[in-house]
Every structure is written in structure tokens, then in C-alpha cells.
Amino acid sequence: YVRLLTLVSDGESFSGSLEEFRRDNLPYFNALSWCWWSRAESRVTEFLCDGQPFPLSQHLYELLSNLNPKNAHSSVRIWIDFICINQDHVKEKNIHVAHMHEIYGQARNVIIWLGTPEDGSDLVMDAEKISELNQTLQRLPQSNIAQSVTAPELPQADDPIWKAIGRLCDRDWFYRTWVIQEVAMARKAELLCGTQRLDWDEFVNLVGRISRAGLASICRGPRSTGKTRPDGFGVIMDLSWTRTMVLNSDLSMNYLLHMVRLREVTKPVDKIYGLLGIIGEDMRSAIEVNYAENDRQYWRAYVDLAKQVVKAVAGHVAALTTD
């Protein structure tokens, strides 16, 4: 069974209720992709769920506030891991994490919560403005970077829109391991920043066209540099390529392992668990999700994955030798 949260509003405040559904018979719902804890916010607050106070981070409360249907008698149904999985029940958590890819794959829409508006994010989340910029970039010649920077059709190099794009790409969500499978399995995905929404594909197209036009350098934010954190533009293109490869069943394990090398997780083992949905059924079934083990035993998941990688490579080599 899967629990889904329904947010209801009286026109001013909101509350929630949880309902269980069979995993093979889920109704229309959204699924949330988010960072559990924001770097800038660790306060704890609560909302009413099934008539009882439910504690959560301020970061998540702000999401619920922005998802609040606002109009009386309206509702929103969504799956949120922190709320819909009993975090104190290890066995339940193990089962849901092993099947999380199915939840994201069945959701009508995956909502990517980036947080509250800041650093000019309103400029980037303006769907009409981004659509126009995308069309302009698409018409630009890609062979002359200097010409692209000074193209009269584009905003000037010092226009706030460019830095706003770079700072949005620097947000924590883009650097998390879990988001790889959450986006890769999504039927449809959209960014949510404050109350503004932007289609995922539209944003990816924008980042790709900026890169091809040689304009990424005027966008990069302060956290896009350094050896410990990869460039935000590259991270977003990696997510896009992974999604395409998953859809085409053409995902390279070597590429995937390289991509998560500098990705961020709360627990080390989540670099394995966060990929279970896209590594293939044979590998997935050979790796047991077990959050009951302590940090010193997390190496087991890495060993199990390594065995499956070696087994797959050996089988490929044997097939080539036979041919």
C-alpha cells in the first residue's frame, strides 16, 4: 500500500489527511521531489494532519503553504516521502524506498520544490519570458560565442536574468542523488519556486541552449565553482541525458556511477538506494534496502552493487567472445 496526502483548504488555512491505496491501483496524484533539509533553514513547525499536529521542517511547511489550494472545498493530492512514509518504522521505510521508482513513475506530475523566491528567481520562473528567451536562443548561430554575447535580440550581458538563471541552477535540489531517479521516472515534471511554476523540459532546453551559445560563463552563480561541487549547468544536462537514456533503456552503469560521484546525500548508502529505480531489475533485486544497519555496515550495499556490475560486465564480455 501507498499513503497519499490530501491537502484541503477552507479558503484561508489548510490541513491534511492521509489515505492508503494499493500500489497497483493508485488514483491521480502528484509526487514531490525536494531537499529534506535546506541549508539555510532548520526550524521545525507543524500542520494539522488527520486532526493531529504533524511536525515538519520550515522548508517543507513553505511547500505545503504554496501548494495550498487556497479556494474553499478544493484539494490537492500528493505523495511526500517524509509525510507518507512512517520515518520511525524501519521495515516500512525499507519497502517504500525499494519501490519508490514506481511511485514517481505513476505520478501524474512530479513537483520539484526549489524553495522560496530569492536571488531573482521570479525572473527565471516567468514561463512567458523563458519561452521567449528560448526561442531567441534557438535562432542564434552557435559558431561564434562573441557574437552570441552581443546579439541584439538577447538581454545585455549585465541583465539580471543571466545571474538569476545561474543562481537558480545553484540551488541544493540539483545536487542531490535522489533527484536523479525522481526526474528520470517522471511522466511530467515542473519546477516550483514560491508559487511560480515552470515546465522542466522548458528549463532544460534553456540551460542547453545557453551552454551551446557559449553564454554559461555570464550566468554561473557563486556556488558553481570549486572542485567539490560540479558546475550547475553540467548537473542539469546530466539529469536531462539520464532521463533520455532511461526512457530509451540505454543507461550506462559507468556513466551513472560517474555522475553520482560528487552528488550529495544525507547517508552514504543513499548513493546506492537513490539509484535503485534506474539501474535495472536484475541489479535492483540483488540489493536489499536496509536502514536498520548502522553507518559501519553501509558498505554492504556498495559490495552488492559492485558484484552485480562485475557480473554484468563479465556476461557482456562472454557474449562478445562467443560472437
Q: What does the alpha-carbon distance between residue 169 and residue 114 come to, in Å, rounded to a whole number? A: 10
What confidence tier does 195 reach under pLDDT thresholds 50, 70, 90?
very high
What's the Cα-to-Cα distance from 311 to each of 69, 271, 278, rounded to whole Å?
50, 20, 17
Identify whether the C-beta of residue 80 lies closer than 8 Å to the C-beta of residue 32.
yes
Of 234, 240, 229, the C-alpha closest to 211 is 234
pLDDT digits (tens, 9 = 90+) for 237-260: 999 999 998 888 887 777 888 888
Grid-cell match 543513499, residue found: 270
What confidence tier does 285 reach under pLDDT thresholds 50, 70, 90?
confident
Give the residue-averaged pLDDT of 78-102: 93
For the ranges 34-43, 226-235, 276-285, the one whose mean pLDDT is highest? 276-285
Q: Over the chain, what is the mean pLDDT?
A: 85
pLDDT digits (tens, 9 = 90+) for 99-139: 999 999 999 999 999 999 999 999 999 999 999 999 988 88
Judged by DSSP in three states, 229 sits in coil
What confidence tier does 319 reach under pLDDT thresholds 50, 70, 90?
very low
Bigger pLDDT: 165 vs 318: 165
**Based on the number of CB atoms within 10 Å of its own CB, is 129 exposed (0-12), middle (13-18) or buried (19 or more)?**
middle
Q: What does the alpha-carbon distance between residue 187 and residue 201 come to, in Å, rounded to a whole number? A: 11
**pTM of the complete model beyond 0.85:** yes
Determine the pLDDT at residue 147. 57
Q: What does the alpha-carbon distance between residue 248 and residue 243 come to, in Å, rounded to a whole number? A: 9
What confidence tier does 149 reach under pLDDT thresholds 50, 70, 90?
low
DSSP for 281-302 reads HHHHHHS---TTS-GGGTHHHH
Judged against a pLDDT cut of 70, whether residue 146 lies above it is answered with no
Judged against a pLDDT cut of 60, whether residue 315 lies above it is answered with no
Q: What does the alpha-carbon distance between residue 158 and residue 146 come to, in Å, rounded to a whole number? A: 15
